[in-house]
Amino acid sequence: MLPADNAKTVKAQDEAARIMALDQKKLIKIIKSSKSTDLAIAKACQRLAVIGTKEAVPALSALLTHPKMAHYARFGLEPIPDASVDDALRRALGQLKGRLLVGVINSIGHRKDPEAVGALAKLMDDPDAEVAEAAAAALGRIGTLEAARELEKVLDHTKKVAGACLECAERLLSQGRKEPARALYSALLRRADLPEALRVQATRLQGSSGSL
């Protein structure tokens, strides 16, 4: 490695280490500053994933539309235990398209936000296949009765949500909701074109639900 390249790498490492030691107020300032480098913003988001609170949500959510920084913003937002994160992610559903929208949907699924079920159900009809599949997967992870109903509606028309239905049924079962879980397993098994691996798994779990 050339000396100049080595010096540049060391400088970047030093900057990253400095940022990772800052408090929340200073991290937010970095994110909001137009003079901050992409590296500085990324590191600030990463640190906020560890120490971030409600106060960091506006700054992080403002990056959800940024092509380069949106991933880091979601990484920072997801662990923050405050309802304002869910509010920000739901608002973003109506503002984004393509990969940025898929990312937000994934974050909503990660946080298992039950209030997003209605919006996600609509997105299962999105012409962008990635968006539609991400919405179905998020509903599966949310795993509420309402999510199960929305997935079952779509299952009547396409097998692409079968995996999400299976995950949703498993979540219902883990919550002790045996009857709706069995109903979803039965809906899955009614599809003649269900992939064999999913059929086997659904059959096994449907059987185990009766013994719980």
| pLDDT digit string, tens, across residues 63-75 | 999 999 999 999 9
Q: Counting every residue, how long is the chain?
A: 212
Q: Which of 127, 126, 105 is nearest to 116 (CA)?
A: 105
Residue 156's pLDDT band (cuts 50, 70, 90): confident
Q: 20: which DSSP letter?
A: T
Q: What is the dihedral of CA 81, 83, 84, 87, to 10 degrees?
A: 130
For 107, the token pair is: 């974050």
Q: Which of 131, 145, 198, 200 is nearest to 175 (CA)?
A: 145
User: Residue 1 pLDDT > 50, yes or no?
Assistant: no
For 70, the token pair is: 């949106």
Query: Between the CA of residue 121 and those of 68, 109, 116, 138, 177, what are the distances in Å?
Result: 28, 12, 9, 10, 21
pTM of the model: 0.88
pLDDT given at position 210: 61
Residue 2's pLDDT band (cuts 50, 70, 90): very low
Residue 107's pLDDT band (cuts 50, 70, 90): very high
Domain 82-212: which CATH class? mainly alpha
Q: How far apart are CA 121 and CA 130, in angstroms?
A: 14
- Domain ranges for the chain, please list them: 10-80, 82-212
Residue 15's pLDDT band (cuts 50, 70, 90): confident
